[in-house]
Amino acid sequence: MPIMTTENSALALLKKHGYRLTSQRRDLINYLSQFQDHYITVTALDAYMRKRYPGMSHNTIYRNVKEFVEAGILEEQEEGEQARVKFQCDFEQPHHHHFICRNCGKVTELKMCPIDFFTDQLPGYEIDGHRIEMYGLCPDCQKKLKAAS
């Protein structure tokens, strides 16, 4: 039985959603798999793909990003006007939240979902979605800052 890698999981999801597994999509998934614990700007991703495939249009790259998000392969975030994505960190549990280090950008998955805490405070309301991100300093950055002072 083959070992299931994150890249294999992503390819299986693409196939399940009816997308063709082109060499460009495989390359995109391979490149994005490096970003499970950090976000990358869609602009940087676009630059990488256009360098590898000079004839590839911006629209094709952005469409693939959108399709990958919809298929559950990528997680997306907006910081100001800049769209950023990262490879799905948990294909078994796609619904999860993150702690993001403000210094180095490292993303750590949080397994627990606190939505019940909020629904208890909103009787009569219907919640149709949520995203929870916590920000601060990771242990490594805390050590570095302490050592520098």
Q: In terms of C-beta density within 10 A (0-12 exposed, 13-18 middle, 19 or more buried), how is residue 76 classed?
A: middle
Instruction: Supply φ then ψ for residue 108, to 5 degrees.
Output: -120, 130
- Say whether 141 counts as a known binding-site residue: yes
- Say whether 89 counts as a known binding-site residue: no
Q: What is the largest CA-CA distance in the chain?
A: 54
Distances (CA, A) of 147 to 54, 103, 144: 45, 15, 5
Alpha helices in 53-110 (DSSP H): 58-71
Structure tokens at 104: 């180095």
- Say whether 138 counts as a known binding-site residue: yes
- Say whether 130 counts as a known binding-site residue: yes
Q: Annotated binding site for Zn(2+): which residue ranges?
A: 101, 104, 138, 141
Q: Annotated binding site: which residue ranges?
A: 95, 101, 104, 130, 138, 141
Q: Annotated binding site for Fe cation: which residue ranges?
A: 95, 130
